[in-house]
Copies of this chain bind each other. A is one copy, B any other.
Amino acid sequence: MPTQPPVALKPRKTPSQSRSRVTVDAIFEATIQVLLSQGMGELTTTVVAERAGVSVGTMYQYFPNKQALVYALNERFLTMLAERVEATCAQMQGRPIAEAAEALIDTYWAVKTERVELTQALYRSVAGLESDALLHAFAARVDRATTQMFRQASNSPLPDESALNLLLTTVIYGAVRNAFERGLDGEEISALKSELKAMCRAYLTSVGE
């Protein structure tokens, strides 16, 4: 159970009714738009509400404050990301470990590629938040999935799978993020991706014998 953030950061009510769902989605979408076109500095409640076609009051019906909105948006994104990672892990169950690692790289890379600016913007938006709890919870969830994938790989590796998992995920997440933060062109970036895979393979081969 992650520690509660100091101010309320979760939606006031679960958006279950279809009416609410639409409204909440519109607010999320508006937030993303503003985040992309203007940045965190220009993300004001008024602007978001306007963009979403609702009143500020309505926004506050669903989010107790501005922070909570940004927090929820990040949560939504991280949940999606976690689900995709989990799907990959399920699919790669029992396959050779190098292939598993490569699949993990592909998944992360794909998410980044799909919405480069958005992931960038979200990284920035979360910087001003009390978001450690959220990020740690996400990390824990994803780690659980990948650790299990690596443990149950066909060519079971070293005794300490959790250390292996830590290394691979740290390298993969870090490298992918860093790769996209540089403004590389298509060719460079795809070359980089293959080499990253090669590096993981090389390492796994070296420890696997």
Contacts and interface: CB of A to CB of B under 8 A. Distances in A.
Contacts of A127: 40, 123-124, 127-128
Interface string A171-209: 101111111011110001001100110111111011100
Interface stretch (A23-31, A68-76, A80-88, A162-170): A162-170
A136 interface: yes
A139 interface: yes
A177 B178 CA distance: 9
B192 A198 contact: no
Given A174-B178, A191-B163, A192-B170, A128 B136 contact: no
Nearest to A195: B167
A197 to B, nearest CB: 10
Interface of A: 39-41, 123-124, 127-128, 135-136, 139, 163, 166-167, 170-171, 173-179, 181-184, 188, 191-192, 195-196, 198-203, 205-207
Which 5 residue pairs spanning A and B have beta carbons closest together?
A174-B174, A174-B178, A127-B127, A202-B206, A199-B203
